[in-house]
Amino acid sequence: MSVKQEKRLNKAISETGYCSRRAADKLIEEGRVKVNGDAVGLGVKVSAEDKITVDNVLITKEVEDVYLLFNKPIGIVCTTDITKKQNIISYINYPERIFPIGRLDKPSEGLIFMTNNGDIVNKILRAGNRHEKEYVVRVNKKITQTFLSKMSNGVPILDTVTQKCKVTRIDNYTFNIVLTQGLNRQIRRMCNYLGYEVQKLKRIRIMNIRLGTLKVGAYRAFTNQEFQELTYQLKQSVKTEDASSI
């Protein structure tokens, strides 16, 4: 006798490429999701036999997985809400439904991943997995050794102390920083705490994938080599859902 394989509803929705798990949770909370015609709540589990609808429209996986790297310009907002001005979805105008993995705030620029595979999102973003993100930052005052030391050893922001990280001076006003956590506006808050103001912030790498020479506002698909290396690194990662049981 076969046993039905069940998964959480938010994961099932994200795997169709409709949206991320977090966005799926919001849809469920708003009562817009039904399973087999019945409204459901958070935590419900479904199988492949169940029919999932959003706003009474059946959602299924109809396209191949899409993985893009995008050089986000300053001013573009990392939201899937296409009613918001300068939203990333309308800007890229990709022919399939995609969404960003993580965020870059509006005044920042640089590398961000776009995908239709919601299942990969948690693996990349979860801070406990310690995946590196690298930035080049320009500030308004000369960088001192004290500044570099404090930035690298941890700064108190948002009721916590940032994890140790690698910070390297590029010139009097510019430094390189590699983070493994993603607190809200983390680099800007760290600099502000130390009396500096960020004038330019650009993300140049996520894990093994570098922005390289990709022009501002342009996007491209992952190369096979990039995707294979990324997949290898993610094999050891713990997804948020799995981590709750550890």
Q: Would you name the residues annotated as active-site residues?
A: 105
Report the candidate in 232, 222, 224 with the shortest Cα–Cα distance to residue 115.
Answer: 222
Sheet strands (E) in 63-159: 67-72, 99-101, 109-115, 133-139, 156-157
Residue ranges in the chain assigned as alpha helix (H): 9-15, 21-29, 88-92, 119-125, 145-153, 186-193, 224-234, 240-243
Q: Determine the Cα–Cα distance for residues 129 and 126; give it in Å rounded to an integer.
A: 6
H helices present in 113-185, as ranges: 119-125, 145-153
Report how far residue 113's alpha carbon sits from residue 226's, in angstroms, rounded to the nearest whole number.
12
DSSP string, 54-66: ETTEE----S---
Q: How far is CA 7 from CA 27, 44, 50, 121, in A?
A: 17, 8, 11, 16
